[in-house]
Amino acid sequence: MRKLLLAFLFAAGVAHADLPCPLLTPANAFILYAGSSSHCLITSQEPCTQGELIQFDLATFGYNFACFTHAFRWNFGDSTEVVLTRASTHVYTSPGMYAVTVTINSPMQQLTLTQNVFISDPQPSFEGEELFSDRGRVPRGYRFIVGSAVGKGDWLWDFGDGTTARGPETEQTHIYKTGGKFLVTLTSTQAPNSYALEVSVPVDRRRSARH
């Protein structure tokens, strides 16, 4: 009878001196996560990266898990095995949006929390080098290369001088009309990935002198 009364008080949200724990709700318990290399956090807009180690834990506000015995069951949304500890680590092998859930059980109640985690493609290397033809160095010409880029969709190139290019290629060439510093950006059209590279194009002093 006492157990039924306690269960009723929990369901009604009524405080009681005999209850070992307060009512556990999404208002006082939530999922935390942090990436080991991308530094993604639940409080930031940065995505986590495919292949990196992500730490998951439960945080509380005004609630202490030591008040009673609790059991935890994590599901990372990618068909991998569940984890039965309060804190855990996980590695996603494919990009996408994953609904991470943790079910918390105590003798008094059961609560399931959900947190969406976005996993992006690994950040590719972004390099620029001088462009050469059969006749030698192409004046103000550059070859831009994106290495280790994975995923579907086109790349949007912005060469920093008002010209752009779009396509699935991870390599582009460009010839600048003038010298100077230009910020080259590369953006994925299907993921919130953006990369930047500053290139310094030598100024043609002879051409500048004529003008």
- Based on its alpha-carbon atoms, the radius of gyration of the chain, rounded to whole angstroms, reads 27
Q: Select from 107, 103, 98 the least CA-distant residue to 80.
A: 98
Asked whether 148 and 142 are in contact (CB, 8 A), the reply is no
Tokens of 157: 């190139």
E-strand ranges in the chain read 29-35, 48-49, 53-60, 71-75, 88-91, 96-105, 110-120, 125-133, 136-147, 155-158, 164-167, 171-175, 180-188, 194-201
Q: Are 64 and 95 in contact (CB under 8 A)?
A: no
Q: Is 69 exposed, middle or buried (0-12, 13-18, 19+ CB in 10 A)?
A: exposed
> What is the structure's pLDDT at 46?
83
- Residue 15 has a pLDDT of 44
pTM: 0.56
Residues of the chain with pLDDT under 70: 1-19, 123-124, 148-152, 191-194, 204-211
Query: What confidence score (pLDDT) does residue 173 get?
Result: 94
pLDDT attached to residue 211: 46
In sequence order, which residues have a C-beta less than 8 Å from that of residue 173 and are 6 or more positions away? Answer: 131, 141, 142, 143, 144
What per-residue confidence (pLDDT) applies to 151? 52
Structural domains present in the chain: 2-120 (2.60.40.10), 125-203 (2.60.40.10)
Query: Quick one: pLDDT at residue 90?
Result: 95
> What does the pLDDT look like over 37-79, one tens digit per residue?
787 898 887 889 888 899 999 999 999 999 999 999 999 999 9
pLDDT value, residue 152: 57
Give me 109's structure tokens: 């109640």
What pLDDT is recorded for position 18?
A: 53
CB-count exposure of residue 144 (10 Å: 0-12, 13-18, 19+): buried
